[in-house]
């Protein structure tokens, strides 16, 4: 059977595609994304896909009136082209993870009568997914009770690395491959105190900030593991006893699967404030902590190390379902 996978723009969307495709060994896979965002960085030349397409599409959100018109026009003209692609590859089903990259193919699927399966990563539904939810054949979300699959699709290694934490010996500052200024500033402010306490620092500072952050740690005479983009983030999570991170969906569920107690500092400009609501989902179950950037208080952050980390860590193990990628792959195969 032929499965068309679409969506992206950000690593959170693309992580879903990557995790699910790893469970689809015998099917013919096609990827359709955008030239904008990180799509090409992730999947151009990926031999898992028989063919990859990158469209000249762009987002509609956060643009002026003229920009929105231009984006919508490009999406619908691309959707017409994607009808031909779906027919050419005899698509059995389209799997969309949302984001502007997915719009033309998801719309083409409905026009062409090809089954559409949508995965929503965030606690607040994205604009495109909200629009297409009523017409999707299957709509999947880890935050919606009636979702046919609640398990979030992440790599098995995060579950394999899970362990119960009881005290903080190593801390992980996680700002994503692009970095997060607020988390970088917090890490460097806390670094002297962490050194006094014998706490080792692992810090994802972002590709653009690596050299500057390394120099600042050097000036403080502190040894820290500083990096930007990595394909082995699971190793850093496994080593850590506590994390301070943004709350994009994939990051949140990977940290949870690893049973790593985390303080979330959401990106304040995320669409529909979805990072805040992602973290709030765990906070309401007493399984995480949450601070807005303007609420960051160094003493309150340090006080979290004295919380019952064992209880939080165990609670995360109990709440996170395994095999999300495999369950979604099996669902997609059922359309063959």
| Residue pLDDT, tens place only, 230-260 | 878 999 999 999 999 999 998 999 999 999 9
Domains and their CATH numbers in the chain: 2-152+323-333 (3.40.50.2000), 157-319 (3.40.50.2000)
Tell me, what's the pLDDT at 34? 86
Please provide residue 320's backbone torsions phi and psi, each rounded to the nearest 5 degrees.
-90, 120
| Alpha-carbon Rg for the chain in angstroms | 20
Which pair of structure tokens corresponds to residue 71?
A: 């984006």
Half-sphere exposure of 80 (CA within 13 A, CB side): 5
Greatest Cα pair distance, the chain, in angstroms, is 63
* Mean pLDDT lowest among 83-92, 171-180, 183-192, 238-247: 171-180
Other Cβ atoms less than 10 A from the Cβ of 145: the count is 6
Query: Residue 193 above 80 pLDDT?
Result: yes
CA atoms of 189 and 186, how far apart (whole Å)? 5
């Amino acid at each position: 059977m032929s499965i068309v996978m679409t969506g992206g723009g950000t690593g959170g969307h693309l992580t879903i595609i990557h995790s699910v495709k790893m469970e689809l060994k015998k099917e013919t896979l096609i990827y359709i994304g955008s030239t904008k965002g990180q799509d090409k960085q992730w999947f151009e030349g990926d031999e898992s896909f028989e063919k990859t397409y990158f469209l000249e599409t762009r987002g509609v959100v956060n643009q002026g009136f003229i920009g929105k018109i231009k984006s919508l026009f490009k999406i619908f003209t691309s959707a017409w082209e994607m009808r031909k692609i779906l027919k050419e590859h005899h698509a059995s089903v389209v799997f969309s993870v949302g984001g502007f990259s997915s719009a033309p193919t998801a719309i083409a699927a409905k026009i062409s009568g090809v089954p559409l399966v949508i995965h929503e990563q965030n606690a607040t539904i994205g604009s495109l997914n909200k629009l297409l939810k009523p017409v999707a054949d299957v709509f999947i979300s880890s935050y919606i009770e009636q979702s046919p699959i609640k398990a979030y699709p992440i790599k098995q290694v995060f579950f394999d690395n899970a362990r119960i934490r009881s005290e903080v010996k190593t801390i992980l500052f996680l700002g994503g491959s692009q970095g997060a200024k607020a988390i970088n500033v917090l890490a460097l402010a806390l670094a002297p105190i962490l050194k006094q306490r014998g706490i080792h620092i692992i810090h994802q500072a972002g590709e653009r900030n690596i050299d500057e952050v390394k120099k600042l740690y050097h000036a403080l005479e502190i040894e820290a593991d500083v990096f930007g983009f990595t394909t082995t983030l699971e190793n850093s999570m496994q080593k850590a006893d506590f994390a301070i991170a943004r709350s994009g969906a994939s990051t949140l569920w990977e940290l949870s699967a690893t049973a790593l107690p985390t303080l979330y500092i959401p990106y304040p400009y995320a669409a529909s404030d979805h990072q805040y609501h992602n973290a709030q989902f765990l906070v309401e179950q007493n399984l995480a902590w949450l601070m807005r950037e303007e609420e960051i208080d160094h003493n309150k952050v340090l006080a979290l190390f004295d919380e019952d980390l064992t209880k939080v860590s165990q609670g995360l193990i109990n709440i996170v379902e395994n095999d999300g990628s495999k369950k979604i792959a099996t669902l997609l195969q059922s359309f063959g």
